Amino acid sequence: MDNVPHNKLFSEMDKEELNKAEEIIRKKLKPMSTEFYQLGLISELNMEFKEALEYYKQALACDPNNSVAILKVKNLEEKSK
């Protein structure tokens, strides 16, 4: 799963744009792994690391093979130690 374009897109957004993107994703009826991953990225960019970790874990619950989310969970868990 290649999420590099999403990372670049979100990193170029300001806080207002990030909040709008989060709102749009949240309004989806049934978020999938990709949407939870994107919410994790938004939370991480907003320096909301605990929330980001939870979103990445939700992404893994939808798709246990999401290698990028696996790395994000490991990195955030390491930082919280």
5 compared with 45, residue with greater pLDDT: 45
Q: What is the pLDDT of residue 47?
A: 92
Say whether pLDDT at 12 is over 60. yes
Q: What is the pLDDT of residue 1?
A: 39
Q: What is the CA radius of gyration of the chain?
A: 12
CB contact set of 39 (below 8 Å; sequence gap of 6+): 22, 25, 26, 31, 55
Which residue in the block uniquely carries the two structure tokens 């999420």?
3
- Mean pLDDT to the nearest integer, 9-16: 74
For 34, half-sphere exposure in the C-beta direction (CA atoms, 13 angstrom radius) is 7
Using one digit for the tens of pLDDT, what is the confidence trace for 24-79? 877 765 668 888 999 999 999 999 999 999 999 999 999 999 999 999 999 999 98
Domain covering 4-79, topology: 1.25.40
Q: Comparing C-alpha atoms, which of 49, 42, 48 is closest to residue 18? A: 42
